Every structure is written in C-alpha cells, then in structure tokens.
Structure 1
Amino acid sequence: MADADSTAPARDFRDTVFLPDTPFPMRGGLPQKEPQILEAWGDLYAELRRRRQAEGAPLYVLHDGPPYANGDIHIGHALNKTLKDFVVRSRFLLGYDVDFVPGWDCHGLPIEWKIEEQFRAKGKRKDEVSKAAFRVACREYAAGWIDVQREQFKRLGVIGDWANRYATMDFATEAAIVREFHRFKASGQLYRGSKPVMWSPVERTALAEAEIEYHEHVSPTIWVKFPVTGATDDHPDDLLAFRHATPSVVIWTTTPWTIPANRAISYGPEIAYGLYEVQAMEQGLDFEPWAKPGDRLIVADKLAEEVFRAAKIATWTRVYDLNPSGLECAHPLAALHPGFGFAVPLLAGDHVTDDAGTGFVHTAPGHGADDYEVWKAHGHHEVPDTVDPDGAYYPHVPLFAGLKVLETEGKKTGKFADANPAVVQKLIEAGTLLARGRLEHSYPHSWRSKAPVIFRNTPQWFIRMDEPLNSRKLGFIRMDKPLGGDDGETLRELALKAIDETAFHPA
C-alpha cells in the first residue's frame, strides 16, 4: 500500500462535531462582565420602589446596622450586606415597597486611633492638636472611606437607597441624637454619675469588651493587713482588748496600685472565717518576714494555711470562729497620712469566694465592676477618683500624686510604671504588708496598642430605668400614645413590653 501523501492538508474534525450554537463566550470574563451587568440594571432599587409605590404596596422597612467607616470591606461586610440584599429583593418580589437606607458608623476609637497615628507620624501628640482640627481630620477620614465602601457594596450588586445614605456624623443625625438626649434630661430620667470601665492610658479612652484581648502577664501579688478598729456587740469581748495584738483582716490583690483607692473590704456571707494567732516564724530565711509571733490575723479557714505559707509563718493557733459582719478597719496607709484616715467597712458580697486569696476582697469602687456594685448596693453613692486619663494618680491622692500606673510614652510605652512598687514600699513603711509574690495570669490588653488596660472610674451619663415615668414629659417613646403606658410605668417595664410585642427573626 502506498504511503499517504504527506503533503495533503490535515482534516479539520470540528465540522463533524455537532454542538449547540450559543452566544456565550468561551471565557466568563467576570471582572469585565459584572460591571456591565450592574450598568444594565441602572438604579434598580429606585425603579422597584417607583413601581411598588404606584401600586400602593405596603411599606416594609429594613434598618441597616451600619458598618464602620475605616477601611476596605471584608468578608464579614460582604456576608452582612448580601444577606440584607436577599431580604430586600425577596420583599420586593412579595409585593412590598421596601425602604432600605444604607448607613455608616463614623464615631469612636478606631477612626481616632488612625488619626492619632497620622499625627504621630508628623511628630505631633494628640494633646498638641486642637479638638476642632482633630475632629475635622476624623470627619475627612470617615467620609473618604464611606465613598470607598459604598462603591464596593454596589460592586457586590447590593441594591438600596445609596444616594441618600445616612451617617452618624451627619449634622442632622447628631442633632436628632442631641434632641432625644435633651428629652430624657427634661423628663428627669437623665443624671450624671460615674462608673469604672476598662480604660487604656496609652490611648486615653474607654474600651468595650470586644476591643480587649488577653495575654499572659506577670503581676505583683500582695497580702495586706487592715487593722480592725471597731466591732459590734456581736463579736467577742477580747477582739479589741489591749492584752492582745490588734487583729487585722487580710486581703490579697494583684493590683497594688489600687490600694490608695480602697474604701471597703468585701466578705462572703457563706464563707467560714477564723481569728488566728501567729506562734512562730520559719527559720533560716534570707530576709526578715513582715509577720511576727503574736500577730492576730482574720482569714477564711479554707485559705489560712496558704496565707501563712506565703507569709513564712511556721505555726499558728486558731483562736475562734469569727463573723466579719459589723467589723470596721483602718486603711493600711492611715499611719502615714491623714488623707487615709477614713474607716474601711466590711461589706457582704456574693462575688467573694474562698477559691484563692484570703476569702476577703480588697474593694476599690473606682477600679472594678464587682467593687463598684457592692459599694453601691450598700448605699454608697460617691465613687472616688484616683487615677486620671493618663493613668497617673490625681494631685489630691496622698503620698502618690503624679505617679503613673503605666508608661504612656517612649520605648517603655505600655509597661507598668512606678505606682505598684511605690505602693508596696509605703505599705512596708506603714507595717501593714504581710507578704508579697508574683503571679503569671491572663491580663486584658487593648487589641490596638497591645498595651495593658486598667479599670478606671470615669464620669458618664445614665438614664434611670426603674423610676416611674411621667407620660406628659416623655412624648418620644411611641407615636400612638405619649408614653405607650400609664403613669407609674418604668422605662425598663416599657422596654420589656416592647420587646414582647416585637417579632424577631430568628426568634
């Protein structure tokens, strides 16, 4: 057989394959195609609303919980907005006139922190910039990101009233907020108070729980004696008798810098406490312990051995059961300055346990949530201010004015400063330090600056939730009735009733 002619052209078999003929391109080309689709839609939202309004369709309002205007959108933004887009489109198809106005949150620390970084890059601290200039910079920053995010959301195909977006920094929005604030003021529901919050001295701002991350940290620990100065008749006659050493309630804390803010000691009503007398100290120590034979100490029975081991006490005697209720103590720094000459009461608190420490909780109402609550629960209204926004003691704090809890500048920014060692040294001078040590534990830090945070008393506005309302003064809760309830109803009761009347999806 003769060889095939190698010069003959190869056969094109494409003509022998029968496939549907479509206008679809071989490649999707989505980056180019999607903008064309969006352009073809035009203002789909406006057209849908026009048609539904012409039909007299019922109104359906979807409120947009606003994203934060400080960066490109991420997958969380995309999920949020596309889920809302499902709702908007499905409600249009079900015959509703859907009102969906996208918005932006423009206030708060993330934006301020970015502007601070910009000023720091120019060699300026926040305090060196006027408030007006700082706010203008924040507004410009937020406005820029609103424009960027709006185009990115549109690019996802999300429909809404983008032309009339809202922003918390719009002057009309701020005016509405101030107007409602003043209505609370006029009603008598508003009052000025203070409360301890998590505070970043480095950033000079309060932080929410969501802005906190926890890292391992080594803290100093101290056991401190609060000398008992008074007791009710329910206590044994010899508790304050001069033939014995004055007994002391012992507390344990990992924040020595809060001792100047101490105003009370909390105890657990269900915890068993005892009065103990020191018999002998451990021998062969490299230092002289602060306890001595004859000292009388009040601690929880369950924790007594642990406390005495920390204080290098070798032997002790339990004198008798002791109920802390009704006791009063002196502040452990009272011997050094009359500014600490106030009485320190013992207060019952459900937050006290005998799992660690001494069974007593040093209570500084300006530096802890539990401390604040137990202080208020026992009828105390004034919360002392001890530390300023920079984390330094105020000038009125005896012995420690100006000392900082944390370094806020330089290479040591975020490191603990002079306050802790200064307080420990003064306790030694006063003869009220029983023992000290160190503890590695999880400690809250700011997720932005990565610096430790503190609890600090800050002035705040509060709205009374549990006082009877006056419907003639509060005409802003509902539109159908001045208050939505009768006189005598509290704001909490009204809010709970409104929740019960509201359909939540999911339930």
Structure 2
Amino acid sequence: MSTDYKATVFLPETGFEMKAGLTRKEPALIERWDRLDIYGKLRASRKGREKFVLHDGPPYANGNIHIGTALNKILKDVINRSQSMMGKDAPYVPGWDCHGLPIEWKIEEKYRAAGKSKNAVPVVEFRQECRDFAEHWIGVQKAEFRRLGVEGDWSNPYTTMAYPAEARIVQECLKFLMNGGLYRGAKPVMWSVVEETALAEAEIEYHDHTSTTIHVRFPVVSGPAALLGAAIVIWTTTPWTMPANRGIAAGAEAHYVRIKVTDVTDASRAKVGESLVLAEPLLAQVLRDTGITDYAVEARLAGAEIAGHAICAHPLRGQGYDFDVPVLAGDFVTMDTGTGFVHMAPAHGPDDFELGRKHGLEVPEYVGPDGVYAPHVPLFAGRRVLRANGKDGDANGAVCEAIDEAGGLLSRGRLTHSYPHSWRSKAPVIFRATPQWFISMTTNGLRDKALAAIDETQWVPGVGRNRIHAMIASRPDWVISRQRAWGVPITVFVNKATSEPLRDGQVNERIVEAVQAEGADAWFASKPERFLGQGYDPADYEQVTDILDVWFDSGSTHAFVLEEREELMWPASLYLEGSDQHRGWFHSSLLEACGTRGRAPYDAVVTHGFVVDGQGRKMSKSLGNTIAPQNVIDQNGADILRLWVATSDFSEDLKIDNDILKAKVEIYRKLRNTIRYVLGNIAGFTAAEKLPAEAMPELDRWVLHRLSELDRDIRAGYGEYEFHRAFTALAEFCISDLSAFYFDVRKDALYCDATDSIRRRAVRTVLDTLFTCLTTWAAPVLCFTTEEAWLTRFPDDEGESIHLHEFAPIPATWADDALAAKWERLRDLRRVITGALEVERREKRIGASLQANPVVHIEDAGLLALAQSVDMAELLITSGLELAAGPGPDGAFRLPDVPGVAVVPRNATGEKCVRCWMVLPEVGAHADHPGLCHRCYGVVAHG
C-alpha cells in the first residue's frame, strides 16, 4: 500500500470563509463597533494629528434613503476612512436638514385628508407635529446610513432643528440685518401657487410645459413720425401677465421695420392696410405666425430711434387700462424668437422689474398668493392663473378673449418649452411681485467676496469652479423669506411708520437667548415686548412672521457645527455633494460665510454625478428601473454597494443595474479569495520566520517592489478623491499579479518546501506583508470584509479593529525599477511557454503543466541570460525545462507580440512524486519512501 503523505503537505488553514455571508455578518460587526466605541477610540488615537474635516451636507429628514443618498454617504465614508488611515484625524459629524416645505406639506396633507385646515391649528402645535415627523425620519435614516457601514459620531449628530442650531441660524440672519445686507422689497420672485410660497432657484427644476402664445398690437400714440399710425407688435408665452403690462422693451442696437399689410390668409387676425412695427431679423417668422402673406416696407428704424421716444397705448385702453406704455431700451431683448419687442410686466419678471424700476414704472400687485386676480383688477378679478392643483386656470383664456374683442390680438398659438416647476409639487411656478426679504449681492461687496472665494477654493472636478462662478456672477439678490410655518423665523421688527427694520443689538441678544432656550417656537409664542424691552412700543412695530429659506439654514451649518464642535475646525477641509449643489448647499454656504466672515467655509469642494440605470437613463418608478440600496444590502451586503461606488468614476453619472452589480460581486469574490488565500498560508506565522528583503529570492522582492508602486498609487488615488483609480489598481494587482502569477508559482514552495527553507520563509514573509497592505488599503471601501479578515488573523484582542490602524509604511528600499523591468520581460517569456502548454492540454497530450518539460529557444542573448538566472521551471510550474539559444524549428509555438521565442513541447520523463506531483527521474531513488522526489524525501524523512 502506498503511504498517505497528505499530512506532510502544508495546506492552507483559515476560518475566513469562502462564502462571504455579508448579510449575516455585517450587522454583527456594526454592533461590535458600537459596543467598543470604535469611533471614540479612533478619535483618541488620532488626537493631535493633522485634522481633515469633511463637513456633512445635511440630507433632508423626510423619507427612506435612496441610491443617490447611499452613494453620497459611502463616498464621504471612504474619504474619512482613507484620510484616517493615511494618518490624519478625520472626525465626522453627520447631520440633517429638518425645516422647510416638504415636511410641512406632509403634515398639511394629513389635515387635508381629515377635512381640516392647518390655519385652524395653533402654529406652535403645528410646528411640533413637523418636528416629530422630522425626528422619526432622522431615526430611520440614521439606521440606514449606519447599515451602509458609515462611521461617525452617530450618538451626537447635528440637526438644523436643535435649539442651539436654530439660535445660531437666527444669529447669522441678524448679522446681515446689522451690516445692512438684509432688506425688504417687493420684487418678482418665483412663486408656487400650489404651495403658496416663494421659491429659490435651488428649489426649481425645469420640465416641458405647453403655454398659450399671443402676438398683440400696441398702438403708437406718440413718438417719431415714422411710427405714428402704426402698432408695435409683441409676443408672449404668458398672456395672463398682460393686465400688469406697463412698458415695452426694445433693443437699442437692433434694426426694426414698419410694414403695411397688403394680403393675409383667411384665418389671419391681421388686417389689410394696417401698419405694424417689429424687428427685421424676425419678420419672416412673425409673418408666418400671423398669417400675413404680403406686405410693403414703409420705413426702417434703428432701435435707438424707438426706445425712449415712442409711447404706446395698452391694448385694453378704455377698459381700466388707460395709461401710457413707454418703449424703453432693454439689454435683455434678443433676436432669436418673438418680435424684437418684449412686453414688460414689472410685477412678473426680474428683467422687467429692474428696467421698470430704473424708469419709475408702476409694479401693480394683481395676482394673489393663490394665483387669483385681486378684486381691484379691471375685467379679470377672480380669474385664476393656475389652479390649486397646478393646472392652468381661466386667466389666459379670459385675457386673450378680451384683447381679441378690443382688436388687439394678432395671433394665438401653443408652444411646448422648458419651464420652471417646483421640485416638490412638480407644478409650474409663476413670477410674482410680493414683499420679500432679500440679502443684497452688492451691499458690503458680497458678490465680489464670493467670486474671490471661489477662486481660492479647490474644485474637483475643475469644471465645478466655472459653474458656480457663472451662477454667482449673474445671480440676483438672495430672497430668503418664505410664507410658511415650519422653519426658523426671520426675527425682525419693522417700524410701521418708516418701514425700516429695527437694528438694535440688545433686542437681538434677547431674541437669540430665547431661541437658544426654547427653540424658534419662542418667536411665535412670545409677545413682542419680550424682545423689544422697555425702549420700544410694540404698537409701533410689525413682527415679521416669514420663515427663512431652508437653504439659509443649511448654509449656516458651518457656523453651528464647524465653529461650535471642538473636534472640528473652520473652514472645513472639504464639502462633498452632488453636482446640483452648485446652486444649492455649496452656493448658500458660500454666500452666508462670505457675507458674515469674508471667505468660503471650505478649502475644497468635490462633486459627484447622479445615479442612472445601466442604459444611462434617469431612475424613475414609471420606468421601473429604480434600485433601492436596502434591497442591494439585503441581497448582497453593503460591501458590494461600497465596491460599486469605489470602482465607479463618480465625477460622471454612475450606472447601476443588476448586471453591473453581478460584475461587482465577481470582483468582490476574487478579492475575498485573495485575502482568504493569504490568511490560509500565514497560519502560525511568527516574527522568527521573517526574512529581510535582501535575503529573499528575486520573485519575492519583485512583489515588494509592486507593493511600493501600489502604495504610491493608492495613496494618491485616495488623496486626490479618485477612488476608482486606487481600487482598480488594487483589484488588478490581486487578480493579475497575485492570483494568476505569484500565488500560482509559489504554491509549490508553500505546500511542499521544508518549513525552514529560504524560499518558503520568503513567501510567507511576503504574504504576511501582503495581508497588512491589502486589508488596510481595501478597508476604506470594504470596511466589513477587511474587519472580518483582521479579526480572523487577530482573534484574541477584544478591542482590536482594522479601522484603528493606518496604511503600512513601505520602505523606500523595496522599490527596484531594474528588477521590475527584468521580471516584466520574464513574464512575457512565460506567456509564450504557457501558451504552448495550453495547446498541449487542449489536445490532451498532457493533463497538467507538471507533466511537461519543454524546450525553449530564445534568440535574444540578453533574454536568454535572464531566463538562465532564474528557475524557469518553477515559474512555469513544469517538472523541468531546457533553454536553448537560437531561433528554434519551424513548427515551434510562437506568439507574435513576443518575437524571438519558440517553444517545442515535450513531456517530462520519470515518475510522478506522490507528494508534490512533479514528474522526475529521481522518484524511486529512496527505498524507504520510493514515491518521493529528493526534495519531498528530505522534508518527510528529516522533518
């Protein structure tokens, strides 16, 4: 009977399971981290180090997290973990945005469903319901973020609705009051009829909308002789604004033409013989739209001859609109659409308002907060611009009919175009002049300060700088007031006689103290005299009840988080959010900080794209292509989701679908098996077994060289926020350099060499180093898997965690470019030989490579010398190999990309060693162990 040598082979031993079981293991690891307070231990161990502070942009507390939120939080966690493992103190304080319309809207829906109005509920009681709603979702989201593996100070997060936070928000607003930047004015703002509040640009999204279009005649009543007896033609997509018309804008540099209509279609509203004035470049289009088929040119005029000189009559003159309509020069007039004349309703457009203010035009307040014309509006009182559900009301139709009956309508049509909508209600918005509170972009030089701060900030990717710079350069004053109930109030008193806001430091102190103690509810629940004190009569002052735009809340987080938390610092090292936050949080934080501190609250800003499906389509329930992070975690584990994030280029939109996730699972499996292989082959490894690098064979020193290269690349990838570069390099190293080459070659030495052999000690030393490097490099991404591996290796220390460690220091002496170049050539040579052996296997002339002993012909003397300097048979996992100089015979195997190498396959001769499976002539030479080769005999016989 043959002897069983299995017990003498050093096979891998590890408790690190091949099957990940992440869905089972990850929750237990989270419990362990919380029980041991790993976050607290990390803060203690990094105390005194250079700080890296990523300030968390607050998600909104009103529902479960989605895949985009998961992406954002994972990116932040990867950054914090990697910065920590590169030796910095990287505290992370998560936070939530709690005020604002979406939460208020949910509570209102509850009342509407019960047939009640929120106005019937005391404001403080209503606000408490909003607070409770936000508190519930904070708890839900906290658990969901924690399940993603995100580490941070979860026991002490920040919320915008905490009393100290509300007090600081109030204080920040009052700073603008005191420096003169805050003012109240009636300007047209984007107004949601559905939600009955002003909206900021950040609360707007654009969708296709079909509008009624009209061409309207404005008869010229005075001005240049060339215009008398004619009508100026305007075109608009908002007929409902015509009652509020108070002027017409013309391009001073444009060219206009007066035509006489000589022929029209049967359906045209134009009249043969009438004279019309419009821009010459747009003449052809207007003729088509109005059904004018023939005309005669009566005069040509420059814009400067018209603007400032012509006066028109309103098309509804004689019906309550008996005022003059001046033609004014406007730089916003373009020649790409319309007629070259722009109808101006100063109450319903920012350009109209600014030009009208310059020339003293009236700003009539005709449309109420519910989108209904006020009772004093001639002809149209009670008509609706938009209904409560966001659909068109009857105003457009009524205005068109009235103008038509008066003889002013030249044409009527429909146009589908991009139009602003509320991102909450999804309903169209209108521009509407209402008294609002603004922060001036020019007072105190806010715009200039913000533009300078942008240039002093690092933007990743760099195009972010241009985007936000353009926004700040052209943006109007910041409207910060909202006509709602749930939020931080604008704590200002206005003198009824002068309309001036009260600026008194002591009053401000009393307000801030009250909010600090009782929350923002104190403003609504207290009598004015509590704040005004003895020096002012409450009857002389209006107490403002508007609330602050929630972007002011989140834009102030730097004040009550970065400045107030001892473990943090101001400014932050980094802000990171989606690219939409150039007009959101990055924007409001920039303005708030520049207005109160003169610089941005961040040194760098990183933006990521949006999550789309595998075909690049936006995710939507209607398409059925949404992927919930909770489902991915339940099926595969959070580490798979984290791997998807880390291996994607987040500077662009990130694709995800089930096939993409399957590919990530496959990459994960290979990485896990690499770690498992390393763990299995360093069982029992001790410091006494270690070899210094200089005592190792070349192959093992080549691995150390690769580690030095990877250390540089991975640190750069993490440090420059290019995780896909770092992690792709790591994965490629594990798959190509280790699993497919080094592990394959050194398996025989690991399993069969004597325990004291230099070769086995060298590979075990390398594997020990590999374990530390691979697990720490991967830990910022695969936080659960690497922790499992670390605890498998070091099971006895209850307080141990990989996340308390740093990336291993790599000695500079490991880098050896000459050695790397040599082994690159040897690996090319190896590819030719393994290619030849693969043919032999396919043709069933051999079973395994150990059955081969090929002849390799090498023409290049240098390459031949390299091959002779190493054990090529070991590299090829063959039982032998013969090297020969020269080109080789015609029928030899060759690869076109490795010229000068030819392989003649040949079977090994001898018997198969029953322990190492090599086929060698020496097998049978030992009587007491006839089945062993010399090497295996030495191990078995001498231990």
1:384 counterpart (350, 364, 367): 364
Instruction: Kindly provide the amino acid, as one letter, of the partner of residue 345 in structure 2.
Output: A
RMSD over aligned CA atoms reads 3.0
| 2:419 is aligned with 1:436 | no
Corresponding residue number in structure 2 for 1:397: 377
Corresponding residue number in structure 2 for 1:477: none
Corresponding residue number in structure 2 for 1:345: 326
Corresponding residue number in structure 2 for 1:414: 390
| 2:170 is aligned with 1:178 | yes
Corresponding residue number in structure 2 for 1:271: 254
Corresponding residue number in structure 1 for 2:349: 368
**Given that residues 332 and 432 in structure 1 are in contact (C-alpha distance below 8 angstroms), is that contact kept between their aligned partners in structure 2?**
no
Corresponding residue number in structure 1 for 2:402: 426
Q: How far 1:493 moved relative to its partner?
A: 3.3
2:38 counterpart (22, 36, 44): 44
Q: How far 1:215 moved relative to its partner?
A: 4.8
Corresponding residue number in structure 1 for 2:318: 336
Q: How far 1:288 moved relative to its partner?
A: 8.2
Matched position secondary structure for 1:97: coil
Corresponding residue number in structure 1 for 2:693: none
Structure in which a larger fraction of residues adopt helix: 2
Q: Report the TM-score when normalising by structure 1.
A: 0.80
Q: How far 1:392 moved relative to its partner?
A: 0.9
| 2:444 is aligned with 1:452 | no
1:384/1:30 Cα in 2 relative to 1: closer, same or farther (>3 Å)? same
Tell me the distance in 1 between the aligned counterparts of 2:426 and 2:90. Answer: 44
1:495 counterpart (450, 454, 466): 450
Q: How far 1:30 moved relative to its partner?
A: 2.1
Instruction: Kindly provide the amino acid, as one letter, of the partner of residue 258 in structure 1.
Output: T
Matched position secondary structure for 1:220: strand
1:191/1:270 Cα in 2 relative to 1: closer, same or farther (>3 Å)? same
**Given that residues 314 and 322 in structure 2 are in contact (C-alpha distance below 8 angstroms), is that contact kept between their aligned partners in structure 1?**
no
**Given that residues 259 and 364 in structure 1 are in contact (C-alpha distance below 8 angstroms), is that contact kept between their aligned partners in structure 2?**
yes
Tell me the distance in 1 between the aligned counterparts of 2:210 and 2:355. Answer: 28
Q: How far 1:305 moved relative to its partner?
A: 4.1
Matched position secondary structure for 1:403: coil
Matched position secondary structure for 1:84: helix
**Given that residues 312 and 327 in structure 2 are in contact (C-alpha distance below 8 angstroms), is that contact kept between their aligned partners in structure 1?**
no
Corresponding residue number in structure 1 for 2:196: 204
Corresponding residue number in structure 1 for 2:215: 223
**Given that residues 71 and 145 in structure 1 are in contact (C-alpha distance below 8 angstroms), is that contact kept between their aligned partners in structure 2?**
yes
* Structure 1 spans left out of the alignment, 5+ residues: 1-13, 232-236, 468-488
Instruction: Kindly provide the amino acid, as one letter, of the partner of residue 328 in structure 1.
Output: A
1:16/1:92 Cα in 2 relative to 1: closer, same or farther (>3 Å)? closer
Corresponding residue number in structure 2 for 1:297: 276
Tell me the distance in 2 between the aligned counterparts of 1:60 and 1:383. Answer: 51
Output one character per residue of 1:129-175: Cα deviation in whole Å (capped at 9) or x when no partner.
Answer: 44334322221111111111112212222221222211111221121
1:333/1:382 Cα in 2 relative to 1: closer, same or farther (>3 Å)? closer
1:312/1:97 Cα in 2 relative to 1: closer, same or farther (>3 Å)? closer
Tell me the distance in 2 between the aligned counterparts of 1:356 and 1:424. Answer: 20
1:91 counterpart (65, 69, 83): 83
Q: How far 1:311 moved relative to its partner?
A: 3.8
Q: How far 1:95 moved relative to its partner?
A: 3.8
Tell me the distance in 1 between the aligned counterparts of 2:356 and 2:123. Answer: 36
Output one character per residue of 1:37-67: Cα deviation in whole Å (capped at 9) or x when no partner.
Answer: 12222321111212333xx334433211111
| 2:53 is aligned with 1:73 | no
Instruction: Kindly provide the amino acid, as one letter, of the partner of residue 254 in structure 1.
Output: T
Q: How far 1:27 moved relative to its partner?
A: 4.2
Tell me the distance in 2 between the aligned counterparts of 1:288 and 1:82. Answer: 62
Tell me the distance in 2 between the aligned counterparts of 1:441 and 1:505. Answer: 33
Instruction: Kindly provide the amino acid, as one letter, of the partner of residue 326 in structure 1.
Output: G
**Given that residues 116 and 126 in structure 1 are in contact (C-alpha distance below 8 angstroms), is that contact kept between their aligned partners in structure 2?**
yes
Corresponding residue number in structure 2 for 1:238: 225
**Given that residues 346 and 362 in structure 2 are in contact (C-alpha distance below 8 angstroms), is that contact kept between their aligned partners in structure 1?**
no
Instruction: Kindly provide the amino acid, as one letter, of the partner of residue 294 in structure 2.
Output: T
Tell me the distance in 1 between the aligned counterparts of 2:105 and 2:179. Answer: 36
**Given that residues 209 and 419 in structure 2 are in contact (C-alpha distance below 8 angstroms), is that contact kept between their aligned partners in structure 1?**
yes
Instruction: Kindly provide the amino acid, as one letter, of the partner of residue 303 in structure 1.
Output: L
Larger relative contact order, structure 1 or 2 (CA cutoff 8 Å, min sep 6):
1
Q: How far 1:464 moved relative to its partner?
A: 2.8
Matched position secondary structure for 2:375: coil
Matched position secondary structure for 2:46: helix
Structure in which a larger fraction of residues adopt strand: 1
Tell me the distance in 1 between the aligned counterparts of 2:113 and 2:310. Answer: 53
Tell me the distance in 2 between the aligned counterparts of 1:249 and 1:381. Answer: 19
Q: How far 1:430 moved relative to its partner?
A: 2.7
* Structure 2 spans left out of the alignment, 5+ residues: 1-5, 463-943
Q: How far 1:320 moved relative to its partner?
A: 0.9
Tell me the distance in 1 between the aligned counterparts of 2:82 and 2:292. Answer: 74
| 2:114 is aligned with 1:122 | yes
Instruction: Kindly provide the amino acid, as one letter, of the partner of residue 428 in structure 2.
Output: P
| 2:335 is aligned with 1:354 | yes
Corresponding residue number in structure 2 for 1:64: 56
Instruction: Kindly provide the amino acid, as one letter, of the partner of residue 395 in structure 2.
Output: A
Tell me the distance in 1 between the aligned counterparts of 2:174 and 2:424. Answer: 34
Q: How far 1:289 moved relative to its partner?
A: 5.6
Corresponding residue number in structure 2 for 1:472: none
Task: Pick the structure with greater CA Rg.
Answer: 2
Q: How far 1:250 moved relative to its partner?
A: 0.6
**Given that residues 332 and 430 in structure 1 are in contact (C-alpha distance below 8 angstroms), is that contact kept between their aligned partners in structure 2?**
no
Matched position secondary structure for 1:98: coil
Corresponding residue number in structure 1 for 2:230: 247
Question: Greater CA deviation, 328-337 or 39-48?
Answer: 328-337
Between the two proteins, the alignment pairs up a number of residues equal to 452
Q: How far 1:202 moved relative to its partner?
A: 2.0
2:301 counterpart (300, 306, 322): 322
Q: How far 1:240 moved relative to its partner?
A: 6.3
Tell me the distance in 1 between the aligned counterparts of 2:354 and 2:273. Answer: 36
Q: How far 1:499 moved relative to its partner?
A: 3.8
Corresponding residue number in structure 1 for 2:637: none
Matched position secondary structure for 1:494: helix
1:85/1:460 Cα in 2 relative to 1: closer, same or farther (>3 Å)? same
**Given that residues 328 and 343 in structure 1 are in contact (C-alpha distance below 8 angstroms), is that contact kept between their aligned partners in structure 2?**
no
Tell me the distance in 2 between the aligned counterparts of 1:500 and 1:459. Answer: 34
Matched position secondary structure for 2:433: strand
| 2:104 is aligned with 1:101 | no
Tell me the distance in 1 between the aligned counterparts of 2:298 and 2:267. Answer: 25
1:428/1:500 Cα in 2 relative to 1: closer, same or farther (>3 Å)? closer
Tell me the distance in 1 between the aligned counterparts of 2:440 and 2:429. Answer: 29
Output one character per residue of 1:102-127: Cα deviation in whole Å (capped at 9) or x when no partner.
Answer: 11011223222322332232233445
Q: How far 1:191 moved relative to its partner?
A: 1.1
Q: How far 1:257 moved relative to its partner?
A: 0.4
Tell me the distance in 2 between the aligned counterparts of 1:370 and 1:238. Answer: 29
Tell me the distance in 1 between the aligned counterparts of 2:428 and 2:457. Answer: 41
1:447/1:29 Cα in 2 relative to 1: closer, same or farther (>3 Å)? same
Tell me the distance in 1 between the aligned counterparts of 2:52 and 2:209. Answer: 52
Corresponding residue number in structure 1 for 2:245: 262
Q: Report the TM-score when normalising by structure 2.
A: 0.45
